[in-house]
Structures are given as structure tokens and as C-alpha cells.
Amino acid sequence: MDSITQAALGATVAGAIAGKRCNAKVLLAGAALGTLPDLDVMLDYGDAISNTIKHRGFSHSLFLLPPFALLLSWLYTRLRPDSFWSFTRVSVLTVSVLVTHTLLDAMTTYGTQLLWPIHGYFEVSNIFIIDPIYTVPLLIAIIVALFSKSRGGRWCQAMVILSSLYSIWGYAAQQHIIDRVEHNLQAQNLPTQNVLVTPTPFNTVLWRVVVRNKNNYWEGLASLLDDDESINFVSRPLGDWPMQEKPSTLLGLKAFSHDFLNYHEENGALIVTDLRLGLANHLSFQFVLAQRDKQGSWQLVDKPTRHPSGERGLDKLNVLWERLKGDQSIDANLQRLDLSATN
């Protein structure tokens, strides 16, 4: 999730545990702890792909976070002994804040290495990386807690529960869409393996569906408010990796994306795109892995770089809003679901 949400979640979890002892210092400590795992973005692993796929690694591991939280708790109680904030209470707070951070990240599509150093990316994809409906209740709890010491802890407890229920709602909505997708794939004779269902920006009502096989992928939209249960899928080629040599960065990207990758050439550059993150022609993660030389042969670049993408489609959110409300005619009007088109 975004940094504001993680800080807000950390603050409200801390306030909920503190209860009547909730105050500005507790909220600030929770916000700082809630932000701590994401400081790994400051590390440079040498190239754009490595920086992407190694984020949410060791700093998000359920094997490392609890012992690290216990160490922090021990240091705090040694330096600031307090009859109420015992080692046990501080430990419950720090473990809860750090673990909820990584579990929330795992609900997004990006992928979180929950079991690092055991390799593997985990994602539920039931909530978008920025969702105001999840975040705003947490911010309300923080505001109330800052101005009302007597009610702050209860508000934090209530809003943590409310946001948690929203994430559960997101999962239930996703499962409903998955059932609908399965019926559509069978009816349209499309592949039923390698299917991704993920929320579109800022909501859990309109969902993006991506299906792939060896040579192609299909993309469609499905809203909980659709009157027609059918899904309009658009087919596109996946492309191929053109060289026999496969660099470690490509293998890492394949693992990170679960092989939801597209390959295409643009101005003599080989662009590899993660199909999971973004929408249609506005996909967030695109990388340059090779360039054509003067003879027209492909040559690997020394360091993969981030390729500018069309992810800045905020001015087209009105189109998504109309689609969210169930206007399936937009699927055709969007010209292959390209948000650069006008409604």
C-alpha cells in the first residue's frame, strides 16, 4: 500500500493497543513503525528490475519482523522503563504494527516476499495499492485520537476493525468476479488457466481481468454493477523473448510477475512489461532489457532501465467511473480498452 496508508495503519493499530493510554506519542511511534519496512526502497540493487523485484523482501519477511520487533521492544524497555509499557505490551504493539504492514501489502497485486529468505511472491490482489475507502477511516481515527484522549483508543479500535472488514469485502467481491470470469471463459472458449483478477484504481467494484496462454493474453473489465454478466475480452499478442540467452534480471522478473509478461520492440529497444500492474496501455512496470545494434541484432543492455509508461491516466478516471457504474458500452468505445481514447 501507499506510504500514507501504512503510516495511518501503524498509528491506529498502536492507538488501538494502547487503549486509554493512546496519545500523540503513541500514534507517532505507530506511524514510524508502520513506515519502517518500506525504507528498503532506499537500497540500490544495481538496476531498475532488481530494485523493483527486491522491494518488499527481507524488510517484509514474517521470519524477520517478529524477532526484529522483539529486539526493538527490549531496547525501548531498557532505555525507558515504565510500569505500564512493559516488555510484553511494547512487544505486542511493535509486532502488531510491523506484521499488519506486510500483511496489508500482500493484499495488493505487487507481490510481497512474506517468507524471505525462502523465495516466492505472495499477493491476494483484493485491494488496490491506493484505496481511500480503506485509508480514510484510519485517518479519522487519528484525528479523533489527537483531540480526544478519552475516546482515541476506542476510535482506533473501531476504525481498524472497519478497514479490516473492507479488505474482507474486497476479497468477497473478488471471488464473486472470479466465478463470473470462469463462466465467461468457458462460454467464450478461452483459457481457464493463468487468470488474474485485480481491482482497478481506488475501488473494489470495478475489476480488471487478464488471462494468458503461451502466445496471447486477453484483457477485460467486470463491475459488480453490470446488468450483463458477459465480459468483453480483447486479445493481444504476448510476444517472445528473441534471444537464447536469458539474463538473471529477466528470470527474476518472470518469477515476480508469475510470467505475466509482454515483449515488444519500440524504437530499437526490447521492452518487457509486467501485465499485472496498471490497465491496458497504461501499465506501470516496463523495462528496457536489450537494444538492436547497427547490424540489427539484439544486444543485452548492461543495466535494465525503466521505460516510460502510460500509467498517468488520472485525467481519464471519469471513464473508469462510468464503467464502474455498469456502462459496458464503454468497453467498445475505449478502443481496445486504451484509456487514452475519449468517451
Domain extent at residue 305: 240-311
27 & 128 share domain: yes
What is the bridge-based pairing of β-strands 206-212 and 195-199? antiparallel
- Residue 69 inside a domain? The answer is yes
Which amino acid type is present at position 18?
A
- Domain ends where: 120, 138, 169? 169
Q: Which residues pair with 199 in a beta bridge?
A: 207
Same domain? 55 vs 161: yes
- Same-domain check for residues 17 and 150: yes
54 within a domain of the structure (yes/no): yes
Cell of 290: 536489450
Q: Residue 76 is inside which H or E element, if any?
A: helix 65-79
Specify whether 128 is located in the same domain as 30.
yes
In a domain, 216, yes or no: no
- Same domain as 133, residue 252: no
Is residue 213 domain-resident? Answer: no
Both 156 and 29 in one domain: the answer is yes
Last residue of a domain, one of 138, 169, 200: 169
In-domain check, residue 335: no
Beta strands in the chain (DSSP E): 195-199, 206-212, 216-223, 234-237, 261-266, 269-274, 278-279, 282-283, 286-292, 298-306
Give the C-alpha separation, 277 to 306, whole Å.
Answer: 14
> Does some domain include residue 198?
no
- Number of domains the chain is built from: 2
| Contact (Cβ atoms closer than 8 angstroms) between residue 292 and residue 303 | no
Q: What are the CA-CA distances from residue 121 to residues 58, 106, 113, 117, 221 (Å)?
A: 12, 9, 5, 11, 25
Q: Are residues 24 and 106 in the same domain?
A: yes
How far apart CA 81 and CA 75 sit, in angstroms, is 10
Give the pLDDT of the chain (343 residues) as one tens digit per residue: 999 999 999 999 999 999 999 999 999 999 999 999 999 999 999 999 999 999 999 999 999 999 999 999 999 999 988 878 999 999 999 999 999 999 999 999 999 999 999 999 999 999 999 999 999 999 999 999 999 878 999 999 999 999 999 999 999 999 999 999 999 999 999 999 999 999 999 999 999 999 999 999 999 999 999 999 999 999 999 999 999 999 999 999 999 999 999 999 999 999 999 999 888 778 889 999 999 999 999 999 999 999 987 545 555 778 889 999 999 988 865 545 555 443 3
C-alpha distance from residue 33 to each of 26, 76, 99, 105, 313 (Å):
11, 13, 10, 15, 32
Position 337 scores a pLDDT of 52
Q: CA quadruple 334, 336, 337, 340: dihedral positive or negative?
A: negative
User: In the listed set 120, 146, 169, which residue is the last one of a domain according to the structure?
Assistant: 169
Q: What pLDDT, on the 0 to 100 scale, is given for residue 281? A: 77
Are 152 and 267 members of one domain?
no
Whether 109 is in a domain gets the answer yes
**pTM higher than 0.85, yes or no?**
yes
In-domain check, residue 340: no
b/e sequence 81-100, b meaning 16+ C-beta within 10 Å = eeeebeeebbbebbbbbbbb
Residue 139 and residue 17 share a domain: yes
Q: Do 250 and 140 share a domain, yes or no? A: no
Q: Domain check: are 30 and 124 in the same one?
A: yes
- Quick one: 111 and 250 in the same domain? no
